[in-house]
Amino acid sequence: MPKVPLNVWLNDMAQPLSCNPQETLLEVLERLGYRMRRSCRNGVCEICEFTLLKGQMSQSYPAQELCVEPLDPQSRICGLACTAVPVTDIWVNIDGLKRPGEVILKRLVCDVERVEKLSGDVYRVTLLAPPTASQAVEFHAGQYLEIVLPDERKAAFSIGSAPEAGREIELHIRQVAGSDVASAIIEQIKTSAQITVEMPKGDCFLQAATLAPEQTVILAAASTGFSQIKSMVEHLIAANVTNPIHIYWGARIAADLYWPELPLEWAGKHDNIVYHPVVSEPGDSCGWTGRIDLLPDAIKTDFDSFEDTVVYASGSPAMVYALVDNLAEKGLQETQVHSDVFAYAPRPAKS
């Protein structure tokens, strides 16, 4: 079947996209992972407007032929992406068009819906984002947000809920002794009905659609890094992936595994999920009878090869880089490991 080349104008540069015969502009964009404002999909709401810069299109509703020759960056010929079909190669401009995987950073005022204590010093906080379209929650599994205090101080927390949870945003917040910011955030969450956040942030995220069939997924978390891993697991479950998923949750003492029944529940319900809790310094009074090891060493021990494996790590820079180095001894490439640590605490380049 012949294809008509389609060029979509992005940031003053034409990027060629392939358009199937009789495919609307909106169908082309969404098939290839681009997103734009749209609603009814039949031309009535007129939300999915674009500007034609060059080429010819046939629009079914409202019925009209659109044509601009030659290329005119100042064109005022507009159409509706949901009902307009390219007839020739076209160049278009679409305000607010988002590339595949791109989300927009927003500052939102969220309702504080629930505050629960998961352990002696860790709170599970559930926020409810605004319902309006312009303020809608949009993020990828594994991204984080920043809580913004009234005096503009900020603190970052991984989003513990999956994108599929909709308006509900879950955070796991540890009350850190001696931290003024942490104390102020805990106090505001306990006493205020609303809190301001900036989201989404972070380039370490997981999208189920990008996984290769049978690719093994290793999710490694230390302490409250579990919240980032939780978002990823629940996203993978919602997407019904069948890839092998190994969840490693490491802590110094058993009490730091503050929600131990949740990963056990995942593993009990899904045959492709295996949970590996690891404690490094249990002590005689801990009562821990499970595995005693360092998280990077445990993962290295459990796998003979890391071929066709992807690793997501959430923890301190020391833990993440120890993991990278340990697993490299068995062939894991650094490009197979994803972590926010690489952005905020990069290692010096090797000379």
The answer to whether residues 199 and 143 touch, using CB atoms and an 8 Å cutoff, is: yes
- Boundary-marking domain end, from 201, 230, 251: 201
CATH of the domain at 85: 3.10.20.30
* pLDDT top residue among 216 and 106: 216
Number of domains the chain is built from: 3
52 CB-contact burial (10 Å; exposed 0-12 / middle 13-18 / buried 19+): buried
Task: Indicate if the pLDDT at residue 10 is higher than 70.
Answer: no
Instruction: Provide the percentage of residues in the chain whose pLDDT is more than 90.
Output: 69
The answer to whether residues 142 and 200 touch, using CB atoms and an 8 Å cutoff, is: no
Task: Please tell me whether residues 213 and 322 are part of one structural domain.
Answer: yes
Q: What is the pTM of this model?
A: 0.75
150 CB-contact burial (10 Å; exposed 0-12 / middle 13-18 / buried 19+): exposed
pLDDT in tens, 145-155: 999 999 999 99
- Boundary-marking domain end, from 33, 63, 93: 93
Task: Please tell me whether residues 278 and 227 are part of one structural domain.
Answer: yes
Task: Please tell me whether residues 335 and 213 are part of one structural domain.
Answer: yes
Give residue 2's pLDDT.
42
* pLDDT tier, 287 (very low <50, low <70, confident <90, very high otherwise): confident
Q: Is residue 99 part of a domain?
A: no
Task: Please tell me whether residues 212 and 340 are part of one structural domain.
Answer: yes
- What is the arithmetic mean of pLDDT over 306-335? 95
Q: Is residue 351 part of a domain?
A: no
Task: Please tell me whether residues 42 and 23 are part of one structural domain.
Answer: yes
- The residue segments making up the domain with residue 41 are 4-93
* pLDDT top residue among 4 and 313: 313
Task: Please tell me whether residues 220 and 331 are part of one structural domain.
Answer: yes
Task: Please tell me whether residues 229 and 340 are part of one structural domain.
Answer: yes
